[in-house]
Structure 1
């Protein structure tokens, strides 16, 4: 559906040149929600703006739905952009226009008949839950309502692709959740391909199928969200996954292992592990059944259960105590039963 081939974007010339994207390649399949996550300055906004050529790449090709946008004339590109909707962090609404007229704006630009505009605007406002606010102005709306207007406007032209440029970062957590649910519903109802960029992992975790991690203008890791989230390979990805956990793990090692030193019997060993569960295994008593079988004692030092796009997952930090062979047998059996086990210490 979307293919970026060798995209490089450089600003300035000579000694003052700055490279925002460097030989970047990316593939997004039709109908999926694809997230791009990265820290500030990593190249996220440049990347998403290259997809509809609001930023034209210095090198490389942008293909959307089988069309090479970088080879089109200005008028042809304008027609293709009509198939790519976009919503923004700060809404970009016309302050002097009503909600109705904001949604109608892209339809008026292409001389859509008045009756069709009216039908489409009412359909989109109903979709985003704002049918009672059509005559209001942006200043009369909350942040979440403004973003819903932006979504309705982006969808009014029946696009094949929706680009979301930090669409929730200006919203409070409760409003963010409602907007993400709306995007997920739209994706499922219209089979719309959605690309969103963010610096917030919970946004990716909530609705995305695939994720790419961008750092210094390049993709350093990508794959299914469940795989990248539970088994991060790159240091930048682990940083996103483990924000706020480093201090906790240090305390676990210093306090948890120190206390085990005082409580262990002679000859017993101790091992700190992280166990990850996915899907229905999250709710099964796999750990307790296994330790009863192997005779190992354990203490849960930290744990969480959540979801990744409606798929349950769990992670536990556990201290095993007992005979070293029994501990090894425990970790081996957990892996054989489909759990991911990482030895922390």
Structure 2
């Protein structure tokens, strides 16, 4: 659906040049919710604006739905942009227009008949839950309501792709969750491909299928959210993730317990999160254990658990315990 090939974007002249993106490659499948996460200045916004050519890459190719956009004429590009919706961090609504007219704006620009506009806008008002607010102006709306208007406006042209540039960064946590739920519902209802740019791991964890981590203009890690979240490889990825075992490691290091023979982080995924695997294994091997840190949560709709555990017992028994846990498809990482 979206393929970026060797994208480089530089700013400046001959004397001073700033490189925002450097040889970046990325592929996003049809119907995916794909997240790109990175720190400020990493190149996130430049990346998303290169997809609809609001920023034209210095080098490289941008393919959307099988069409290479950088080779299109101005008129052809305008037509293709109608298939790419975009929502923004600060909403970008017309302050002097009502909710209805803001949603209708893209259709008005291309000369859509009034009856067709009314049908589409009313449908979108129901979709985003703003039927009772259609005559209000942006100044009369909450942040979450403004973003719902932005989402409805982006969907007015029936796009194949929805680009979200820090769409929840200006919202409180509860409103963020409601907007993410709306985006997930839209993805499931219409099969819309959604690209989310964010610096919040919670956003990625809540609704994304895959994630790419951007750093200094390049992708440093990419993969399914479950794998990237639970087994981060790059230091930047680890910065974004609250690694549940770290507090347990600090606790174990600060208190002398010479009988502890192994400090381990154990990750449960899927149905095993709620199974009594640990108690079954230690009954079999006879070792004792203490849970120093633990959590149970979800990544999108997949449950997971992480425990930092200290095992006490003979070295051979602890080794056997870890082996049995691995045999039961748990991820076991010896920390100390």
TM tier relative to shorter chain: over 0.9
Please show how residues 186-335 of structure 1 align to structure 2 within 5 Å.
Answer: 186-242=186-242, 246=246, 248-249=247-248, 251-256=250-255, 258=256, 260-261=257-258, 264=259, 269-335=260-326
CA distance in 2, matches of 1:47, 1:243: 28
Cα distance, 1:249 vs structure 2: 4.3
- The CA deviation string for residues 80-114 of structure 1, in whole angstroms up to 9 with x for no partner, is 00000000000000000000000000000110010
CA distance in 1, matches of 2:98, 2:45: 28
Match of 1:168, SS state, is coil
Cα distance, 1:117 vs structure 2: 0.2
Q: Tell me the number of residue pairs that the alignment of Structure 1 and Structure 2 aligns.
A: 336
CA distance in 1, matches of 2:243, 2:318: 29
Q: Which residue of 2 aligns with 1:91?
A: 91
Please show how residues 109-188 of structure 1 align to structure 2 within 5 Å.
Answer: 109-188=109-188
Contact 2:245–2:306 (8 Å) recurs in 1 = no
Cα distance, 1:253 vs structure 2: 2.9
CA distance in 2, matches of 1:280, 1:218: 35
Cα distance, 1:16 vs structure 2: 1.2
- The CA deviation string for residues 211-267 of structure 1, in whole angstroms up to 9 with x for no partner, is 000000000010110011111111111111137875x245323235x2x22xx3xxx
Cα distance, 1:332 vs structure 2: 1.1
Cα distance, 1:336 vs structure 2: 1.1
Match of 1:15, SS state, is coil
TM superposition score normalised by structure 2: 0.98
CA distance in 2, matches of 1:284, 1:230: 19
Indicate whether 1:100 and 2:91 are aligned: no
Please show how residues 49-64 of structure 1 align to structure 2 within 5 Å.
Answer: 49-64=49-64
Match of 1:272, SS state, is strand
Root mean square deviation, CA, Å: 1.1
- The CA deviation string for residues 299-319 of structure 1, in whole angstroms up to 9 with x for no partner, is 000000000011100000101
Q: Which runs of 5+ in 1 are unaligned?
A: none
CA distance in 2, matches of 1:90, 1:244: 33
Q: Which runs of 5+ in 2 are unaligned?
A: none
TM superposition score normalised by structure 1: 0.95
CA distance in 2, matches of 1:249, 1:213: 26
Match of 2:280, SS state, is helix
CA distance in 1, matches of 2:254, 2:308: 13
In structure 2, relative to structure 1, the CA distance for the partners of 1:215 and 1:139 (3 Å cut) is same
CA distance in 2, matches of 1:199, 1:308: 17
Q: Which residue of 2 aligns with 1:337?
A: 328
